[in-house]
Amino acid sequence: MKKKGIWLTLVVLVILVIGATMTPKKAKKEVSEPVFWVLSDTHLITTDLYESGEEFERIKLTSAGKELEYQEDSLRALVDLALEEKPTGIIITGDLTLNGERKSAEKLAEILSPLKKAEINYYVIPGNHDIHDGWAREFKKDSAVKTTQISPKNFEDIFSWSYENSSQKDEHSLSYSVAVNDQLQFLMLDTNIYGKQPGTTVPQTKGELKKETFSWVEEQLLTGKEKGVETIVFMHHNLLQHNDLISTGFVIEENETLKMLLSKYKVPLVFSGHTHAQSIKTDKKDNITEIVTASYSISEQIYGEVKFNQDTISYEKKRVDVDKWAKETGETDKNLLNYQQFTKDLFIEDGKRMAYVQLIESGFYDEKKLDAMADFVGEANWRYFTGNQLQNKDDIEALKNSNGYRLIKKESPFLLEYMDSIVEIDNHDNNQIELTCIK
C-alpha cells in the first residue's frame, strides 16, 4: 500500500513537474456585468534562458507534457485574442514561470503589457514554483546554471499592474483583494510556502494560509458581507480534493477550516490550479464550487470565460487557437502552425512514457502488450487533464472493454487504480457550469 501511494502521488507530481492601510478603490474600467478569463500554470521559461542542446532536451523530456519552446508565442496569441474580444480582465492563478526565474516573470509581464494599454486589467498570484524556487536555472547547451530567482518584492514589482489595481493588500503575503464593482470582489490569495531568502532546494508542493493571512481573509469577507458584495476566491492550491487518490501537496493545508470560513460568508466559487487538470467539483454540504483550470502550458491552451451578472455566474472552458494566430501573423514554424496537434501529441507521448517506465520497472516486458497499455494511458491521461473525459456511460463501458484497459486490469494494479480515478462515471461536465448567486 505504501508503494502504491508513493507511486500514485509521483504520477500527479510528475504531471505537474499587503494588509497595509490604504483607501479602497475599484478596479479600473468598472462594468456592471464583467467578464473575466481565468487561466493557470503558464510555466513560462523565456527563450533568453535556454539554448538548444542536451540539457534543455532533458528538461523537455521531464516536463510532464508541458510545451516549453513556444510558450511566448502561445501567450501572445492569448493577449491578441483578449485585445480583440476585450474581456474585463485576465486572471492567472499561479505558477507563472517554469521554476521561478526572474527573467521569465519579466518576459511574461512584457507579453501582458498590451492589456494595460487597452485598459484590460490582469491579476496574477504566485504558485509554488514562482517565489524563491531553488530550481531556477538557465540552460546552456550542455549544462544548467543557476539564474536569479524571484523574491516576493520582485513579484509585486514585476506585476505591479495587478497590485496597483488592488483595493487591499495583505502585509504578510502576496495576497490582495480587488473591488471589481459595487457588487463583486475578488480575493487573490497567496497560498505558497517559501523562505525570505533565495531557495536552495526543491520548491514546496504543499500550500497553506499563514495565520495572519487567514485573519486578513476573514476581514475582507466581513467587509464584503457588510457591503452586500459577492466574494470570489482565487488561489493556486486546491480547496477541495478532485481526485480520490491524491490530496497531499495539492489540497491546501487545513482546507476544512478555510472551507468553513468561506461557507460562513457564502462564498459560492473558488478558482485554483496546481494539478494541471481541468476539473469542476461542488461541495454540496458547504455549497462551494471549485474550478481547477488546466495548465495553459499543456495541450489545448485552456482558459475559462467567467461571466458575472446580478443573479448568476456562468463558466465555460475555452481554448486559444494558436494555429489560427500563427497563420494570421505570418509564422512559418510547422509546430506553431499545427500547435494544437503538436501539443496534444507531446502530452500523449509523455503519458505513454510514464506508463512504459512504471510497467517495465514492475517487471513487465511483453512489447506488444506494453504498447497497448501505454497507448491507453496516454489517451486517457490527455482526456483527463484537458477536461475531455467520456461522460456517456455506454462510451465508458466500451472504454473498459478495450484491449488496453483489459490488459491494465490484468497486469498492473497500480495503473488500474490510477486509470479508474481519472475516468468519469457520473456524467460530470468539467467544462461548464452556471451558479446562482447567494449573498
Q: Kindly state whether residues 183 and 258 are assigned to the same domain.
A: yes
CB-based burial label for 32 (10 Å; 0-12, 13-18, 19+): exposed
Q: Render pLDDT for 98-115 as a digit per residue (tens, 0 to 9).
A: 999 999 999 999 999 999
Q: How many domains does the chain have?
A: 2
In a domain, residue 229? The reply is: yes
In a domain, residue 288? The reply is: yes
Which residues are bridge partners to 144 per DSSP? 139
Tens of each residue's pLDDT in the chain, 439 residues: 444 454 555 555 444 443 333 334 555 555 679 999 999 999 999 999 999 999 999 999 999 999 999 999 999 999 999 999 999 999 999 999 999 999 999 999 999 999 999 999 999 999 999 999 999 999 999 899 999 999 999 999 999 999 999 999 999 999 999 999 999 999 999 999 999 999 999 999 999 999 999 999 999 999 999 999 999 999 999 999 999 887 789 999 999 999 999 999 999 999 999 999 999 999 999 999 999 999 999 999 999 999 999 889 999 999 999 999 999 999 999 999 999 999 999 999 999 999 999 999 999 999 999 999 999 999 999 999 999 988 788 888 888 999 999 999 999 999 999 999 988 666 689 999 999 876 5
CATH number at 261 reads 3.60.21.10
Task: Look at residues 335, 366, 44, 26 and name the one whose alpha carbon lies nearest to residue 167.
Answer: 26
In a domain, residue 28? The reply is: no
Task: Look at residues 283, 288, 167 and name the one whose alpha carbon lies nearest to residue 219.
Answer: 167
In a domain, residue 82? The reply is: yes
Q: Where are the alpha helices (DSSP H) in 247-366?
A: 255-264, 322-328, 334-337, 339-361
In a domain, residue 431? The reply is: no
Strand 184-188 with 137-139, pairing:
unpaired
Biggest alpha carbon–alpha carbon distance for the chain = 68
Strand 302-308 with 288-292, pairing:
unpaired
In a domain, residue 203? The reply is: yes
Angle (CA) 297-298-303 rounded to 5° is: 70
Which residues are bridge partners to 137 per DSSP? 146
Q: Kindly state whether residues 136 and 58 are assigned to the same domain.
A: yes
- Exposure class string for 248-276: b at 16+ Cβ within 10 A, else e: ebbbbeebeebbeebeeebbbbbbbbbbb
In a domain, residue 90? The reply is: yes
Structural domain for 207, as ranges: 35-327
Give the cell for residue 166.
488592488
Q: Kindly state whether residues 365 and 272 are assigned to the same domain.
A: no
* 106 neighbors 371 (Cβ within 8 angstroms): no
Which pLDDT score, from 0 to 100, does residue 32 have? 74
From CA 330, how far away is CA 327, in angstroms rounded? 5
In a domain, residue 1? The reply is: no
Q: Kindly state whether residues 201 and 255 are assigned to the same domain.
A: yes
C-alpha torsion sign, points 167, 275, 277, 127: positive
Task: Look at residues 126, 145, 125 and name the one whose alpha carbon lies nearest to residue 135.
Answer: 145
